[in-house]
Structure 1
Amino acid sequence: MEAEIVIPRPWSLTVPWDDKQDEASRELLVSREWLLTNGNGGYASGSLSGVVTRRYHGLLVAALPAPLGRIVMLTQVSEEIRLPGGEIVRLAGQESPGNPLTLDWVNRLIEFRLESGLPVWRYRVGDFILEKRILLPNRQNTVHLTYKLFGGEGTARLRLRPFMHFRPHEGPVDQPMEGPYQITARGNKVEIQPLKKSADGSNMASCPPLRMLPAIGPGALVLDGGSCHDIFYRNEFRRGYEARGEVWTPGYFRFTLQKDQVASLIASTEDWETIVALDPEQAWEAEIERRRRLLCTADPRAREGPAAQLVLAADQFIIAPTTRTADVARAQAAGDELRTVIAGYHWFTDWGRDAMISLEGLTLITGRSTEAGYILRTFSQYIKDGLIPNLFPEGEREGLYHTADATLWYFHALHRYLQYSGDRSTLKILLPKLVDIFQHHVKGTRFGIQVDARDGLLSQGAEGYQLTWMDAKVGDWVVTPRRGKAVEINALWYNALRLLETWVREERGDDEAEEIRHHAEKARSSFNQRFWYEQGQYLFDVVDGERGDDPCLRPNQLLAISLDHPVLEQRYWKPVLDAVARTLLTPVGLRSLAPESPDYKARYDGDLRARDAAYHQGTVWAWLVGPFIDAWLRLYPNDRRTAYGFLEGLIPHLQEAGVGTISEVFDADEPFMPRGCIAQAWSVAEVLRCLVKTEH
């Protein structure tokens, strides 16, 4: 008899706030953001208040084939409802240049929640409750906006005005408008198409049209001549970018609503047949069911509470990329699928390092080992000169390879995948490439990445390149160059050698494994001789660097303990962990540099140069809590309760910044304000992995 499958209840997260009349509390609704993704790299995002504050905000940011990349197709829809007595209520607004932001409509907001990760707003308007839901159907560049009226008597009239500015999502907000726009209306179906190139040379005329359809309820488009509106993007101003830009509207859609009736507007770049295949209510139910299945297949320890929310958040980063159409075709021809990992929203693309660090938390803890295999085989197709790509630039087909650690993390990710899946066939396919990686590193490959034959340690560094995860660069300034023999690079190198030795021994026999074993033994001996910093009782961050051995106290040394094959001798574990915990540990992750350092920066804020100067010079990284907990449990294997305590400060963060997900970084000093991307793959992955690992 088969065991009964218990379907987890839908996870709901409701964001509380204080007295909405209080200006500071109302401002929280502007600073907190929501995010939806569509599984192909596209997304929708905005502030809880409805105010657009970033260049990346939009109700439809479509992921289109190269060279277009991700394009902001629909920036916002303003909502206005006329009550039966004639009162007009606005439910959205914008900040405009020179005019203070008014948030009068926020007083009508009675609830914001994530229902199985999907955003829902409820407003009190007169005697009615108006509920708004937003949905991106999976694998479509489509958004559904659905409104339902509860309570009250009589007929209300809803007016939805779309605003748009077709441009790359990372393009400046002051980029000139793409007019003239061609508007085609057939019945209630509307198509809007830009007719010329962008100011930056990208051909917006090659975009598919934005198709709009009032799908439920008697809706119609009223063209009122088209107009441009100036808005102020406050987050762009804070980050040192141009913050004033125009959006354009062709007119508005009007609906009539009575109690329990629904109005819905669809916007999409898909063909009409795809758009009308499901009405918005059917699409909502299909997506809720898909998300319930995500929870059902996840580790049983991750089906409730904050871990369940992170299972849903993890889904946002796993994509089938639409930009590399030729690669998709080649993978499918071979009976495989192309999958990759978006490193963070809103501005990151897929990065090799981030994908490999995140793989276990995003795909294995969540029961998606098939997709983990797709990701590993996808990246293997791009191996060149013994390296996997560091990243794929927005809208590009070719990757960039300036990384010394992404390839070494690949071994770690593959090992975890094999532990979960037992997929020896993938190992057999990849083994020749893994041996080739080893050989390239021994003899030397690009960017000065090469084993030093004298001590067996891996050195890296080339003028003008940032090759480790501490990779900030402004113009020609590499903020943390770390050229030489970096501590985490050599911990990863040793771990990769031991894993490869085992795989080669199992698949090819002892003789071929012997050379790899010799390199591993030599590297371990040299590591423990060279990296121990006696005066500080921790590890050097870099040895044989441009300025000799670097005693800066950084979290990178944790990998010498935390990986499956720790390179550091056990006698050093406790002093290293004590030094890191005492100086770098915070409630939301680990500082990237000790506060005593003269280069320490307390805040990650300001323009690009100021932010990059702080990026790895104190700024707290949430993902580092993963290696810290792994190291802690290696030293104290029976103390999961204490290890869980290192995560507790991140649980309230699920209701801050990007609601339902985890930010990229935090300020180094209290109150540890969230910064950077509102949703970061390795932050979500490592916290989820450790929540499961420390369950007690």
Structure 2
Amino acid sequence: MPPGSVMTFGPHACATPTGFESEWLVTDGLGGYATGTIAGLRTRRYHALLVTPDRQVALAALDPVLSIPGRPDARLAIHEWGSGALDPAGHQLLESFEIVDSVPRWRWRVGEYVLEREVAMTRGRNAVAVVHRLVAAPPGAEVTLTLTALCTWRDADSERYRTGEPLAVEEHYRLDGPGWKPVGEWYLDAYHREEAARGLNPIEDLYAAGTFAATLRVGETLTVTACSGEDRDEPLPAGPAVVEEARRRARKLVRQAGARAAADKLLVLAADQFIVEDGGVPAVVAGYPWFGRYLRDTMTAYEGLFLHTGRHAEGRRLLQAHAGLGERMRREPLRDADGPLWYVHAVERHIARTGDQELCAELLPAVEAVVAAYTKGTRDGVTVDPLDGLLALDAEHAGLTWMNASLPRGPVTPRDGKPVEMNALWANALGVISVMRERCGRDASVVHGRRDAVRAQFVKRFRAPGGWLYDLVDAGPAPYPKGGSGVHDDSVLRPNQLLAFSLPYGFGTDEPHLRDAVLRAIGGELVTPLGLRTHAPSEYGYEGAHRGGVVARDTAYHQGAVWPWWLGPYTDALCAAGRPVDAVLGAVEGHLGECGLGSVSEIAEGDAPYRATGAPFSARSVAAVLHARAVIRQNCNLQGSEKTKLSREARPRTRRNALR
């Protein structure tokens, strides 16, 4: 991987299965996007050059044909069909694929002729520019470039067919470019191999709306733009200007974050893809290509996306926008049992990092309202047990923690009872209020007492005989035969207990022996190169493969799948224990060039070789790696300072000092 925010792939990667598996992404800052593979093959129903913020797939593809005098036409596109055929197979003419400062670039070579394509989106507008440039040809030569616009208009999670309602493209989005000629034909049985692998319908039809064409000499361009939304009739900047502005913005973001290492630059730009504006307020898309915006994902990813990228002002506005969260918890179900606790954590992390005393005073009532809402009982089934002060989740809402995979029969991993991660967040939230009250000159003694009581009960209730913490206490009937029936404490080894030792106001420093035992158990059974397994392989119920249909994949989702976002808490817990952290991210930098290019996948399989799966672009995963890299750098710097200090103290005295 070259230095800087550049990724390059040669002809072998472009023309082999790597080119069908590695995916690129550009976004518009609103939730819309364009995405596809290196080779140009549409392997997912989501692959398109324009997808709207409300996830309508618009422009599916632009198929280029290069007409060179005296040669057969070079068909540069690639499609797979229901018959199994790859036709055309233009990926065989790709000589390189690059992502330069967030802009993807393809180069096809046909003898002495080289055609380049770049794709960029306008920020704050659902519009894409696809710029083609002839970059090499014999002196004085001309070529004709023709682009066929393959269109649709459908929900990104579905398909469209010729037999459906007539498609009037102009009613939904605008296409602009030179030499337009209507076509009006359907291409039948386009095949998406990734959807087939997920047990979903892999077939759809595409509408060839028309063609664009231009004659090009070296250095000349043909640009096609597509735009949706109420402003689609407003003029767009020239295509090359859209590309240059996207690159300029990417370089600015990298400078703002102070990123120097190549991986850090890529991660800063990856983080930007998830941060969007919603009515003038920052928001976070949980992942591409199919996730939306969720409180839990937003706040879990907050520290990495905003604080480690220098986007403090945007983060501040996001936190302020959620100041009414406690009141919402009283009025309505959020379908999120622990998201508000992650909000409290995000507020504390922002204030601790920025020293923003004004924000501390402003949001203290907001975080107190969150704790008050949990104390009174939420619409999502969370209550405080009056006997021990711990949070309990009722059976009706057992699928509302972060382990939220569900089948028709109910949650795959029920969390009713007292989940360890929710109570670690609960103890942390009480600690946050205590510190914020002290910062604001308010009496914190009452909160101190409640915090200390909860922490004491936490240790008492969650300490398991195996040496680590129970994953659940006072749980309902187990979902598999191991637990039998009736209320029980579940000691299955999962990563959830890490929050007790990684959160700033957990109790890790009070229980070093317990913390060390937990880290040994987790390090021995859950840690993989790309993250932490959600279930120990040695225990009943483990599912190491995440593939097949919906039921098989959802069953494995939290029963063995690896989640990279746990690398953040794991790194924090290791640092708190004084353990080395240098090797935690050893494989992740290589992963940046494997699946979602420059980004980190949502999950991976629990069994070697830990094949990445799920969404190829995940906000929580990127945020965790950004955070872990920052912690590791800080830890190494501290160790370096300590080593320097020790080496100075160990230097031999000069002869003069020795004689004294």
- Is the shorter-chain TM-score for this pair beyond 0.5, marking a shared fold? yes
Tell me if the contact between 1:72 and 1:168 (Cα under 8 Å) persists in the aligned partners.
yes
**Aligned pair 1:234/2:193, yes or no?**
yes
Query: Which position in structure 2 is the counterpart of 1:412?
Result: 345
Change (3 A) 1:225 1:619: closer
Looking at structure 1, the residues matched to 538 and 132 of structure 2 have their Cα atoms a distance apart, in angstroms, of: 54
Matched, 1:455 2:388: yes
CA distance in structure 1 between the aligned counterparts of 2:550 and 2:382, rounded to whole angstroms: 29
In structure 1, what is the Cα distance between the partners aligned to 2:420 and 2:353? 28
- Alpha-carbon distance between aligned partners in 2 of 1:343 and 1:272, rounded to the nearest angstrom: 26
In the alignment, structure 1 residue 138 sits paired with structure 2 residue 68: no
Structure 1 distance, partners of 2:232, 2:288, is 30
Equivalent residue, structure 2, for 1:269: 228
Deviates more, 1:463-472 or 1:133-142: 463-472
Q: Secondary structure at 2:540's aligned position in 1? A: coil
CA displacement at 1:380 relative to structure 2: 2.7
Which of 4, 11, 15 lines up with 2:5 in the alignment?
A: 11
Distance in 2 separating the partners of 1:9 and 1:275: 38
1:304 shift after superposition: 2.6
How many angstroms apart in 2 are the aligned matches of 1:437 and 1:620?
31
Deviation (angstroms), 1:59: 0.3
Partner of 2:156: 169
Residue in 2 aligned with 1:561? 501
CA distance in 2, matches of 1:233, 1:594: 34
Q: Which of 358, 380, 399 in structure 2 is aligned with 1:466? A: 399
* Structure 2 counterpart of 1:139, one-letter code: G
Match of 1:122 in 2: 107
Q: Is the 8 A contact 2:32 2:52 kept in 1?
A: yes
Q: Percent identity of the aligned residues? A: 34
SS at match of 1:366: coil
Q: Aligned letter for 2:82?
A: P
State how far apart, in whole Å, the 2-side matches of 1:529 and 1:645 are.
33
Determine the structure 2 residue equivalent to 1:593. Answer: 535
Contact 2:79/2:88 (CA < 8 Å) preserved in 1? Answer: no
In structure 2, what is the Cα distance between the partners aligned to 1:344 and 1:276? 30
> How far apart are residue 402 of structure 1 and its match?
1.9
Which of 315, 328, 339 is the aligned partner of 2:272? 315
Render the CA deviation track for 1:382-429: whole Å, top value 9, x for unaligned. Answer: 5445479xxxxxxxxxx9612221111111111111123333333333
Distance in 2 between residues matched to 1:17 and 1:500, nearest whole Å: 56
Listed one character per residue, the Cα deviations across residues 147-202 of structure 1 (whole Å, up to 9, x for unaligned) are 11122231111110111110121234559544152xxxxxxxxxx334xxxxxxxx
Q: Offset of 1:84 from its aligned partner? A: 2.1
Letter aligned with residue 561 of structure 2: T
Rounded Cα–Cα distance in structure 2 between residues aligned with 1:102 and 1:248: 17
Partner of 1:487: 420
Q: 1:647 to 1:103 in 2, by over 3 A?
A: farther
The DSSP-based 3-state class of the residue aligned with 1:644 is: coil
C-alpha separation in 2, matches of 1:290 and 1:537: 50
Letter in 1 for 2:118: R
Equivalences for 1:62-141 in 2 at 5 Å?
A: 62-63=52-53, 69-101=54-86, 104-141=89-126
Give the distance between the partners of 1:400 and 1:179, measured in 2 at CA. 40
Quickly say closer, same or farther: Cα 1:400–1:443, change in 2 above 3 A: closer
Residues 618-668 of structure 1 show CA distances to partners (whole Å, capped at 9, x for unaligned) of 0000010111110001011xx5xx413110111111111111111000000
Between the aligned partners of 1:448 and 1:27, the Cα distance in structure 2 is: 47
CA contact (8 A) 2:603 2:614 kept: yes
What residue identity is the alignment partner of 1:596? S
User: How far apart, in 1, do the equivalents of 2:372 and 2:587 lie?
Assistant: 43
Distance 2:218 2:133 in 1: 8
For residues 28-43 of structure 1, the aligned pairs below 5 Å read: 28-43=18-33
C-alpha separation between the residues in 1 aligned to 2:87 and 2:175?
29
Match of 2:454 in 1: 523
1:247 aligns with 2:206: yes
Letter in 2 for 1:26: T
Q: Does 1:663 align with 2:569?
A: no
Q: Structure 1 residues 17 and 548 mapped into 2: Cα distance closer, same or farther (>3 Å)? A: farther
Q: CA deviation at 1:14?
A: 1.2
Amino acid at match of 1:622: P
CA contact (8 A) 2:76 2:88 kept: no
Q: How does 1:43-62 map to 2 (within 5 A)?
A: 43-62=33-52
| SS, match of residue 509 in structure 1 | coil
Residue 269 of structure 2 corresponds to residue 304 of structure 1 = no
1:444-475 deviations in Å (ceiling 9; x for gaps): 22233111111111111341541211111122
**Is contact 1:464-1:476 (8 Å) kept?**
no
SS at match of 2:360: helix
Instruction: Give the Cα–Cα distance (whole angstroms) in 2 for the partners of residues 45 and 19 of structure 1.
Output: 18
Distance between the aligned counterparts of 2:170 and 2:108, measured in 1?
33
> Does the Cα contact within 8 Å between 2:161 and 2:206 map onto a contact in 1?
no
Deviation, 1:271, is 6.7
Q: Which moved more, 1:25-34 or 1:486-495?
A: 25-34
- 1:332 aligned residue: none
Where do 1:114-513 residues align within 5 Å? 114-153=99-138, 154-173=141-160, 177-181=164-168, 192-194=169-171, 209-214=172-177, 219-269=178-228, 276-298=235-257, 300=258, 302-321=259-278, 328=279, 337-386=280-329, 401-463=334-396, 465-507=398-440, 509-510=442-443, 513=444
Cα deviation for residue 15 of structure 1 reads 2.9
CA distance in 1, matches of 2:379, 2:162: 38
- Asked if the contact 2:173–2:232 (Cα under 8 Å) also holds between the matched residues in 1, the reply is no
Asked if structure 1 preserves the Cα contact closer than 8 Å seen for 2:325 and 2:340, the reply is no
Structure 2 distance, partners of 1:9, 1:687, is 19
Q: Which residue is equivalent to 1:539?
A: 469
Kept in 1, the 8 Å contact 2:398–2:414? The answer is: yes
Q: 1: CA distance between counterparts of 2:336 and 2:230?
A: 40
Quick check: 589-598 or 402-411, which moved more?
A: 402-411
Report the Cα distance in structure 1 between the residues aligned to 2:77 and 2:589, rounded to whole angstroms: 30
Q: How far apart, CA to CA, are the structure 1 residues paired with 2:162 and 2:436? A: 53
Evaluate the alpha carbon distance shift between residue 476 and residue 313 of structure 1 in structure 2; reply closer, same or farther with a 3 A threshold: same
Answer whether contact 1:604 1:675 (CA < 8 A) is retained.
yes
Task: Tell me which amino acid in the other structure corresponds to 2:286.
Answer: A
- Once the 2 structures are TM-superposed, how far is the Cα of residue 339 of structure 1 from its aligned partner? 1.3
Distance 2:207 2:488 in 1: 57
Q: 1:368 to 1:664 in 2, by over 3 A?
A: same
Aligned to 1:66: none
Tell me, in whole angstroms, the C-alpha distance in 2 between the residues paired with 1:520 and 1:383.
19
Aligned residues: 619
Q: Give the aligned partner of residue 185 of structure 1.
A: none
Cα gap change, 1:272/1:610 in structure 2, threshold over 3 Å: closer, same or farther? closer
* Compared CA separation, residues 274 and 429, structure 1 to 2 (3 A): farther
Distance 1:273 1:350, change over 3 A: closer
Aligned CA distance change for structure 1 residues 78 and 492 (closer, same or farther; 3 Å): same
Q: Which amino acid aligns with 1:374?
A: R
Where structure 2 has 5 or more consecutive residues not aligned to the other structure, the ranges are 477-486, 637-660
Relative to structure 1, the CA distance from residue 70 to residue 281 in structure 2 (aligned partners, 3 Å threshold; closer, same or farther) is same
**Structure 1 residue 347 displacement after superposition:** 0.9
Q: C-alpha distance in 2, partners of 1:225/1:172?
A: 19
In structure 2, do the counterparts of structure 1 residues 651 and 274 end up closer, same or farther at CA, with 3 Å as the change threshold? farther
CA RMSD of aligned residues (A): 2.1
TM value normalised by structure 2: 0.90
2-side partners of 1:260 and 1:540: how far apart?
A: 65
Q: Distance in 2 between matches of 1:253 and 1:135?
A: 19
User: Over residues 198-217 of structure 1, what are the superposed CA-to-partner deviations in whole Å (9 max), with x where a residue is unaligned?
Assistant: xxxxxxxxxxx321222xxx
Query: Is the CA contact 1:386–1:438 (under 8 Å) kept in the aligned structure 2?
Result: no
- How far does the alpha carbon of each residue in 1:196-245 deviate from its partner, in whole angstroms, 9 at most, with x for none? xxxxxxxxxxxxx321222xxxx211123433432011111111111111
